[in-house]
Amino acid sequence: MAAKFELYQDKAGEYRFRLKAGNGENILASEGYKAKASCVNGIESVKKNAPEEARYEKKETAAGKFMFNLKSTNGQVVGTSQSYASEKTRDGGIASVMKNAADAAVDDQTA
């Protein structure tokens, strides 16, 4: 199975997307958007920025876990990872987004 973006509406009615790896694991998630078009633009921003290593902000949580944000050229966060147990697994998540996002299909679950 290839990586894909899932576009969906949450319980509050906001539009969100998540990037799933080929194994079905969530590797990147968005914030909530009021408009579907804004969410689609977010997906396009991820596709454009994902291949560039400089766009990733690596962080450590207060609980000692590791995560990352993907930022657009203007510095806005366009996607956030799950928490990882180690820096190595977090960096693997970044590598997966870098490799898969640009060509990932969009599964629109709101249609």
Mean pLDDT rounded to a whole number for the chain: 95
Measured between alpha carbons, how far is residue 6 from residues 14, 44, 50, 85, 97 in Å?
Answer: 14, 13, 16, 25, 14
Task: Reply yes or no on whether the pLDDT at 1 is more than 70.
Answer: no
**Alpha-carbon torsion 35, 39, 42, 47, what sign?**
negative
User: Domain extents for the chain?
Assistant: 4-105
Query: Domain 4-105 adopts which CATH fold?
Result: PH-domain like (2.30.29)
Instruction: Note the maximum CA span of the chain.
Output: 39
14-24 tens-digit pLDDT: 999 999 998 99
21-41 tens-digit pLDDT: 989 999 999 999 999 999 999
